[in-house]
Structure formats: structure tokens, C-alpha cells
Chains A and B, each alone.
Chain A
Amino acid sequence: MIKKLFLFAIAAIFFASCNNAPKDQAAEGDQMYAAGTEVVMVSPDEFNANPDAFVNKNVVIEGTAVHVCKHGGKRMFIIGTDPENRIQIKAGDAIASFDETLEGSDVTINGMVDELRIDEAYLTQWENELKADNPESELKIHRGEEGHQHDEGDADAEYEQIEAYRAQLAEKNVDHLSYYSIIASEYKEKK
């Protein structure tokens, strides 16, 4: 009896791990956000037109997932009608990772808009981390463009990226550049 139970447990673990059907993170309840929370419904195009207006606000946004980062799935990029304007979605604490199979699907995301300010101090710190041979620097900026994964772990590509940001700061004559992302607390794939 005990032997049968043990074998059954091993088999159950194996079959569970081979299940290829991804589950929505919001599947446990269809409600995308808690009652009473102020949430702004926004389209990707509205968001891209004036992202600053949504900083630190809870938004629900729907777009097409065009890229999920291959390593860890902690980032996803969605688009609206303009494919060149990608919105970065980061997995919040409640989301283990975004599934790769989301690429090409329409997704609804609930999350908080975050602003990343890149100034000379940020770039210097990033550069110092590269010099210290830190391949997993949190300061690295992910834009999710096609083919970017080929530059993963390539320090030279990151130095080039830093210099490009410096050039942008000088060209625009500003003290910082702003990049916006949404830290997702829930997401749902539209079937």
C-alpha cells in the first residue's frame, strides 16, 4: 500500500510538471482589481501619448504581447496600434513570471505605473557595476526590441547603450530621461 502511494506521488509530480497549459494569473477570480481601488482604464496609445499623467496610478491596460524576456520571464512588452511604441510590463511580487506563450496574444494587465529617471548619476553607477563585472545589474535598461537577447551578457553592448543615453541627454539638453513601465499585479490572456 505504502509503496503504491509513493509511486503515485512521484507520478503525480511528474504529470503536474509536464502540463503545458498556461494558467492566467487572474484565473482564481475574474476580478482584475480589488473593490474600492481607484483604477484608470487606459489604452496603450493613450498611455504612450502622455505616460507622465499615469505615474504612481493603478491602471488597467489591454494590448498585444509582442515580447516576453526569455530569461526568467520577469518582463513583457505590449503594443497598441503603433508597433514601435512598446510598453514595458514588469512582473510584480504577485506574479512569478510571464509565460513565453503569451507572445502574440492580447493581454489585459492591472498594475502600477512606474517612472525610471535616467540621469548622469544613474549612468555612472551602471557603468561602475559593469566595471565591477556584475552581469545581473538591476540598472540595465530593457527595451524589448527585436534581437536584443543576442546582447545579453555583452558588456560592450551595455557600454554602447550608456553612451547612447549620454548622447541623448546632451542632445536634448535635459538633466534626465524618463522611461515608464507598469508593475503588474495581475494579468489575463484574452482567449
Chain B
Amino acid sequence: MVVIKAFGQVKEQVGMGEFRIEEEMQNVKSLRTYLSDKYPAISWSSVAIAVNKQYAQDQDPLHQGDEIALIPPVSGG
């Protein structure tokens, strides 16, 4: 289980700011794949992912209870 916090436009696209994923995820890449299957309209390759407040790369492992942040690019000024 991991806890997800969504920011920017992703928050609206997934329809909630915070949710849990019960499935086991090996690493950030498997999370991206899971999210791409569930929310195919979102361009997941452009969304930055942080694990426990730390910017993460695809190969970084995920652990039970990790807090994930999904931070898409935002552009308003």
C-alpha cells in the first residue's frame, strides 16, 4: 500500500487530492505503468514523482506505506 498525493492538474484529472493504492509496486516505473493503465488520458511521462518528499527516478524502489507525490508541470503566471 502506498499513499498518493496529487498536485496541479493531475489532482483534477484523477478526481481526488489524496488516495491509496493497495497493489504492490516494485518501483516508480511500475507505479507509472499502473497509473497509465488506470488514467490513460494523463501524460504520465511528464509528471514528476516524489517518494517521501524526494524526487524519484523510475528505477527507485517503493516500500509499504511510502508517501508518493504526483507533481505535473504547471504553467500559469
Do A and B make up one complex?
Answer: no
A-to-B contact residues, CB < 8 Å: none
B-to-A contact residues, CB < 8 Å: none
